[in-house]
Amino acid sequence: QKEVEQNSGPLSVPEGAIASLNCTYSDRGSQSFFWYRQYSGKSPELIMFIYSNGDKEDGRFTAQLNKASQYVSLLIRDSQPSDSATYLCAVNGAGGTSYGKLTFGQGTILTVHP
Amino acid sequence: GAGVSQTPSNKVTEKGKYVELRCDPISGHTALYWYRQSLGQGPEFLIYFQGTGAADDSGLPNDRFFAVRPEGSVSTLKIQRTERGDSAVYLCASRDSAGDEQFFGPGTRLTVL
């Protein structure tokens, strides 16, 4: 089992729809969770991070975390063509020398079509 | 302030050669990370510096890879006897000691012929 797994893509949604991106992780000691967006040929940029169970909203983006199920998701409301990118789920290490080390999923390609 | 910078942006080398990749983190960031990203994959952790010391080098694939950060700022990733399988984008990120967010540089695309 991979340490961080994302739902296989690519994911295609129409403009204005909700895009749902999912991620599971294997290390129960993981403390913080990140969603990065990566445009083709560019470096990852942080969209959101979440530490606690529940939902965290920031504009059109909502991150959801369920530590019991080892599951984190990202919802994008009112999707725009400019949201088309690869979305990377990343999990922070459990502590000690692992702290700060991000383990990434393989990414989900999202395409928002007009 | 400036973001993380990496040089060169592209590096083409021949199998067996030695290469150095440079990362200049955000000023004041004490933590520095190196990742490697192959096509269609997420970034893969290589090494993490806290200040001048390597806090975690568990991701370095073998002893051909080495990284330094002698003054706690700029870091250099060194790859000896390059192999075609080393071809990837090498990403550097830095983090402030007070936060969790890692800020990524633009990467160095390494191609080993």
Q: Is A3 part of the contact surface with chain B (CB cutoff 8 Å)?
A: no
- Contact flag A102-B102 (C-beta cutoff 8 Å): yes
* Residue in A with minimal Cα distance to B41: A106
Stretch B23-34: mean pLDDT, rounded?
Answer: 95
Question: DSSP alpha helices (H): ranges in A4-68?
Answer: none
* Residue in B with minimal Cα distance to A43: B106
pLDDT for residue A97 is more than 80: no
Least confident stretch, A20-24, A53-57, B65-69, B99-103: B99-103
Q: What is the DSSP string of B9-67?
A: SEEEE-TT--EEEEEE--TT--EEEEEEE-TTS--EEEEEEETTEEEE-TT--STTEEE
Tens of pLDDT along A55-92?
Answer: 999 999 999 999 999 999 999 999 999 999 999 999 98
- pLDDT bracket for residue A96 (50, 70, 90): low
Q: Is A98 part of the contact surface with chain B (CB cutoff 8 Å)?
A: yes
Is A24:A105 a contact under the CB 8 Å cutoff? no
* Residue in A with minimal Cα distance to B6: A43
* Residue in B with minimal Cα distance to A6: B42
- Contact flag A88-B42 (C-beta cutoff 8 Å): yes
**Average pLDDT over chain B, rounded to whole?**
95
Q: Which residue in the block uniquely carries the two structure tokens 């694939």?
A: B61
Helix (H, G, I), strand (E, B) or coil at B73: coil
pLDDT for residue A100 is more than 70: yes
- Contact flag A43-B104 (C-beta cutoff 8 Å): yes
pLDDT: which is higher, B1 or A72: A72
Which of A44, A100, A104 lies closest to B95 in CB terms? Answer: A100
Beta strands in chain A (DSSP E): 4-6, 11-14, 19-25, 33-38, 45-50, 54-58, 61-66, 71-76, 85-92, 102-104, 108-113
- pLDDT bracket for residue B2 (50, 70, 90): confident
Q: Which helix (H) or strand (E) holds B6?
A: strand B5-7
- Contact flag B102-A88 (C-beta cutoff 8 Å): no
Under DSSP, the state recorded for A24 is E
Structure tokens at B93: 């990120």
- Could you tell me the maximum CA-CA distance found in chain B, to the nearest angstrom? 42
Give B39 to chain A, closest Cα distance, Å: 10
